[in-house]
Chains A and B, each alone.
Chain A
Amino acid sequence: MSGADRIAVTADGDWTGDVDEDEGVVVNWFAGEGGAVDVGDALCEIQVEKVGVDIEAPADGTVVEIVFSEDDEFTIGDTLAWIEPE
């Protein structure tokens, strides 16, 4: 598997403009490494400024790496996980 084929799951979305803080925390993962996901599936839930936000799978594929685990703090825009597309 070549790294270049992987798709990053990033901590951003429509909501990014509404928040002032740039730090967030991963609250729940709904898929594990090796798990198959469909585009649009909720992959994980993050909390930014007390608001919970779902991060969705950007493509059909397999979660090959989770970069930030539950309770980990990240900066908005960080790559939370990698998906290898189908």
Chain B
Amino acid sequence: MSQERQRPAVERELTMSRAVVEAIAEEMRDNEEVFYMGEDVADYGGIFDSTEGLLDEFGHDRVMDVPISETAYLGAAVGAAQEGMRPIAELMFVDFFGVAMDQIYNQMAKNTYMSGGAVNVPMVLTAAVGGTYNDAAQHSQTLYGTFAHMPGMKVVVPSTAYEAKGLMHNAIRDDDPVVYMFHKRLMGIGWMPAPQGPKTPVPEEDYTIPFGSADIKREGSDVTVVTLGLHVHRALDAAAELEDDGHDVEVIDLRSLVPLDTETIIESVEKTGSLVVVDEDYRSYGVTGEIVASVAEESLADLDAVERVAVPDVPIPYSRPMENEVIPDSKDIEDAVKALE
């Protein structure tokens, strides 16, 4: 949907983590009320480089290491946000949401509504997500569907450096709570090499990407593949392979789950008639089911065939052969596309 617009030629490439940091730094320079809280975000620079370099420029008062008390500091972010500040609070791994979910979904997500709009919560909750490096069941989930399920939070998932920056600017400036989920494997960290794709040219100036605008990462006429995060790149790999077999695959990167850009998906399905939804979250009651249902509700007649590719309903196992079994790879996506025929 966005491919038409003219972007000035940009040469400089950034990793996703640097793009995230650039956006945060720019917002912190512009607005004294923006600050960052999290574990190991100051001297360490974020375990996944999400705050690398910020301490040097902004100091410990604005780049705050916090006790391992997620309930306290995520809840404190809610409180500071309600006072009008713009906190960014980081959950080191999304898997740790459990110890603080009450503050997230009973306060951050509901206070605006429960107050009839009198209160708003302009904070960003950042969290590292995803597997592929054998960190087992408590450090490998994406939990996209868990956050997107509960009303009151915007949920954003960048897949490239370009998107990471524009979505972060929009997240910080948004007057509502935004959950910003970055995939560890995409950040471009030295010790966790990224695949080809997430490192992109990134404009130096600040820019915002609207939530609810899915991006067609590859145009195609036979099959629509809808996905997000790491799996955008796996889907593109699959599409390249499938091209040789005569399948022309369209790949849609959702970029945000809340709001969800159903229009772009439906337009694509009207063209292709076939839908594959790929997700690194659990299969049941999640993103894949939601997308299929949304298309079915609005455009059932256009839908000839559907496949879902997701993590089967098991926790993420540690051992490499088993982790590979449950996290979809590009071959699984190829198989799903072929199964549509």
Contact = CB atoms under 8 A, between A and B. Distances in A.
Interface string B1-45: 000000000011111001000000000000000000000000000
A66 interface: no
A28 to B, nearest CB: 5
Contacts of A25: 190
Contacts of B11: 31-32, 35-36
A47 B12 contact: no
Nearest to A52: B190
Interface string B158-200: 0000000000000000000000000000001111010000010
- A28, A36, A50 — most chain B CB neighbours (10 Å): A28
B190 A27 contact: yes
A45 B13 contact: no
Interface string A42-59: 100101001010000000
A63 to B, nearest CB: 10
Contacts of A45: 15, 190
Interface residues of B, number: 12
Nearest to B11: A35
The main secondary structure of chain B at its interface with chain A is loop
A32 B193 contact: no
B188 A35 contact: no
A28 B16 CA distance: 11
Contact of B12 (A28, A35, A50, A52): A35
B15 A28 contact: yes
B13 A31 contact: yes
Contacts of A71: 193
Nearest to B13: A30
A68 interface: no
Contact of A32 (B13, B15, B190, B191): B13
Interface string B39-75: 0000000000000000000000000000000000000
B13 A47 contact: no
B190 A30 contact: no
A85 B251 CA distance: 41
Nearest to A30: B13
Nearest to A41: B12
The 8 A-B pairs of least Cβ separation, nearest first, read A27-B190, A47-B190, A52-B190, A35-B11, A30-B13, A28-B15, A28-B188, A30-B12
Given A30-B15, A30-B18, A52-B190, 19 more contacts: A25-B190, A27-B193, A28-B15, A28-B188, A28-B190, A28-B199, A29-B13, A31-B11, A31-B12, A32-B11, A32-B13, A35-B11, A36-B11, A41-B12, A42-B18, A45-B15, A45-B190, A47-B190, A50-B191
13 contacts: A27-B193, A28-B15, A28-B188, A30-B12, A30-B13, A31-B13, A35-B12, A41-B12, A45-B15, A45-B190, A47-B190, A47-B191, A52-B189
